[in-house]
Amino acid sequence: MGSIPPASGPPPSQWRYRRLVSVKLAVRGGTLVTPDGKFAGDLLVDGGRIAGVVEPGTTVDADQTVDASGQLVLPGVVDPHVHVSGTSTIDDYEAGSRAAALGGVTSFITFAWQAWDGPDSPFASDGTLQEAVDRQYAAGADSLVDFSLHATITRDDPAVLKEIASLVDSGIVSFKIFTTYDFGLRNGFIERIFEEIASADGVAVLHTEDDDVCARREAVMREEGRGDPAVYPDSRPDHAEAMAADDAIRMAQRAGNKYYGIHTSCRAAAEVIEAAQTDKSQFRGETCVHYTTLDRSAYETQGLLPMIAPPLRTPDDIDAMFEHLRRGTLDVVSTDHVAFTKASKQTENWWDSEYGANGVQRSLPMFHDEAVNERGMSYPELVRLMCSKPAEIFGLTDKGTLEPGTDADFVLFDPEKPHVIDSADNASDADYSIYEGREVVGTVEATYLRGECIAADGEVVAESGYGEPIERVPPDWSE
């Protein structure tokens, strides 16, 4: 369990490097992991880019050498689903990105929220989607890691339809849509958005839960005084998630747009996505680390700390997530990182609690421990799910890979080193962890972004503001 697998290639004809006299950094002695395999090799870095992948011990002068003996060299983790800055989180870019760096995450995609009509909207109700993007870019000046944005459409305003093409042209290629909450959209308007996204070659990112079902169940539970954390999942059942996904997917099939189902939590919803997939050129999906590691019994032991939406499900649903990850229905494992304090979470009744849980600092070790150590997943598959596939799906062309010529984002990971998760170590402003006290085998030793070490030995070692915004390109899902 947790040991480095034996090298398995690549053959000498695949060693890739240009003629080099010297480089800035050589990472020697490690086991490199790509989506295609794992092998002993040296990673060469120059000018913030990967300059070469060469046979162990190849003679190249380097200004700095890092000894990676006994460690895996992974591409930097790409998390396409975090909530940093703005509404629904207390983490600003500085706190959220420091947590990401400590967890081996070198790039993430957060959300630029349009205003919506309602008492909880933090922005002017007539704000545009472009203004939301500008606001998030300005806040991102403090980020330690590289970042991009999902433009989040939160009201049925036809004016937003005219913004989609220009945002895609500017590098914002994905659009978040909710089917529930005060900012959930009606199906008729979602269909119009899908048509514009299809025309612009963008990606629709869907949070799917049937609002009528969830609202009725919550109302009944309030009337009956059923506010105990253990019954919270009953308010947002798996069929509500599957119903809304089915509606949205049928509209996407008609419109022809790319569709990405976020935080898939249950067998029923995964089956809806799978049924729509033919060659996978249109429909993709993700699950989250917490849906692969925790079930609804956590509400009995932790109270409302893991109150998220969709909620934690059953042990069978955890098994289903791994089945669909193996089959390829789901391509990505993300975090849906949301930061709140313990005090704001632990309320008398579940309906008064905040939604969301922090996790970006723990995602790689947690998923590694469950998927690789406990369930036998291969390291190349882990890299596909957490690095290469999220980058490919969302048009981050230089991320999630160890290919020469791309950004030198990588992680030194010790697969045999255990540690106990302790929220006292949080870089996030959240003061708890839903994984508190769990001993995991596998530890992030160092994180490098564009060739610079930004975290090592459990400490951030670079200055906030090193991260840069990423302009993405419309992704090609035909491959």
Q: What is the pLDDT of residues 282-307, one digit of tens each?
A: 999 999 999 999 999 999 999 999 99
- The length of the chain, given as a count of residues: 479
Residue among 360, 354, 325, 359 at smallest CA distance from 342: 354
Contacts of 242 (CB under 8 A, 6+ apart): 266, 268, 269, 271, 272
Q: Which residue has the tokens 């692969």?
A: 292
- In this structure, of 53-57, 73-77, 210-214, 435-439, the range with the lowest mean pLDDT score is 53-57
268-282 burial code (b ≥16 CB/10 A, e <16) = bbbbbbbebbeeeeb
d(CA 120, CA 110): 20
d(CA 93, CA 77): 17
d(CA 136, CA 122): 14
Question: Which helix (H) or strand (E) is 194 found in, with range?
Answer: helix 187-200
| 453 burial type by CB count under 10 A (0-12 exposed, 13-18 middle, 19+ buried) | middle
CATH superfamily of 76-393: Metal-dependent hydrolases (3.20.20.140)
What are the residues facing 207 on neighbouring strands? 178
Domain boundaries, the chain: 76-393
What pTM value is reported for the model?
A: 0.95
d(CA 26, CA 70): 16
What are the residues facing 460 on neighbouring strands? 455
d(CA 69, CA 27): 9
d(CA 270, CA 403): 32
What are the residues facing 333 on neighbouring strands? 287
Question: Which pair of tokens denotes residue 196?
Answer: 């514009």
Query: What confidence category does residue 1 fall into, taking pLDDT thresholds of 50, 70 and 90?
Result: very low
Over 70: is that where the pLDDT of 119 sits? Answer: no
Over 70: is that where the pLDDT of 393 sits? Answer: yes
Q: What is the pLDDT of residues 225-239, one digit of tens each?
A: 999 999 999 999 999
Residue-by-residue DSSP string for 358-401: --TTTHHHHHIIIIIIIT---HHHHHIIIIIHHHHHTT-TTSS-
Q: What's the mean per-residue pLDDT of the chain?
A: 94
Residue among 192, 207, 204 at smallest CA distance from 240: 207
